[in-house]
Amino acid sequence: MIFYFYCFEIVLLVWQVMENLLSTTNSKTTINTVCRRVPAIEMLSSSIFIKGAIPTVAGDRRNCPQIPIIRTGSLASAKYDNDTNEPYFCRKSANYWDKFYKRHKNKFFKNRHYLEKDWGNYFSVTDDDVNAKVLLEVGCGAGNSLFPLIAAYPKLFVHACDFSLQAVTLVKSHSNFSEAQINVFLCDVANDDLTEKVLPSSVDVVTLIFMLSAVSPNKMLSVVQNLKDVLKPNGHILFRDYAVGDSAQGKLENKNQMISDNFYFRGDGTCSFYFSEDFLSSLFIRAGFNIVDMNTYCRQMENRFHNISVQRRWIRAIFSKP
């Protein structure tokens, strides 16, 4: 049994090395005239997946076409854990994310300054507010959302959690980390009781930024209900994550890496789910939330080196606790 486990780990390591080699090609990538690098994990094979893609403007939902999923294979024969009947990748996801942050540190993701632009009124303090706003950042990673927010809103107090110990360590080692303003802790919100770390009904705003997609769909309702317990009445969840039809989903489809519908494992062992508005609405309504706003956004991207054009898609939503 141990022999097969190590064989499995070696295959994942070789897979990741090959993807890293592909992602380091000297290519120029443009996004609506804004240049940035796109990792190979998001780009390859997407031209097979995207059919009739048209140029779009980020944030313009009217120009965001419905793109069919072209299924080229069956469900991946994922290894299952005998104790939980969960796919191996889900059961070991904390380990894989630990390896991810150990390898990339805080260099993989850019700081997310768009949160201030999109949702600034949810973080700022008004004359009617007696105390500073309390934020819960779920899946804080290396702090790419957290630290830009506290820089823009100095009166904000933040609870930050992640189920990767390496991620929590990175936040604590950041030059702008302050225990007076940030309470960072290790927590698996799919299985652990959040109220053991954060007082019930004490949080004004929860941010879920590309976090829920890393959770098994079977565990998502537990996550959302867990968040509801720590939110104040009329508190809000701010959500942004991958949408069905994203080019990265096409790459995973073509490699037959699907665990279940719209849920996949990547070459490094981490997992990713791609949301539809119907699925997301149903999830939060079942948990007792109201939908304040929800839109699917898309952006056309062009990789000149590979001579392919792809489309990135994401959902942005706001939910409120009654």
Instruction: Look up the CATH number of the domain holding residue 80.
Output: 3.40.50.150
Number of domains, the chain: 1
264-293 average pLDDT score? 92
Does residue 165 have a pLDDT over 50? yes
Instruction: Write down the mean pLDDT value for the chain.
Output: 75
Say which residue, 175 or 97, is predicted with more confidence: 175
Q: Taking Cα atoms as reference points, which of 178, 265, 189 lies closest to residue 220?
A: 189
Q: pTM of the entire structure?
A: 0.72
**Beta strands at 157-162 and 134-138: parallel, antiparallel or unpaired:** parallel
**C-alpha–C-alpha distance, residues 32 and 25, integer Å:** 21
State how far the alpha carbon of 277 is from the alpha carbons of 79, 160, 241, 248, in Å.
Answer: 30, 27, 11, 18
In this structure, which amino acid lies at residue 267? G
pLDDT at 240: 96
pLDDT at 45: 29
Does residue 130 have a pLDDT over 70? no
- 226-249 pLDDT per residue, tens: 999 999 999 999 999 999 999 889
Joined tokens for residue 195: 């109220």
Domain that holds residue 61: 1-322
- 30-85 pLDDT per residue, tens: 323 222 333 333 332 232 233 333 333 344 444 565 544 444 444 444 444 444 44
Joined tokens for residue 67: 């793109």
pLDDT at 90: 59
Does residue 185 have a pLDDT over 90? yes
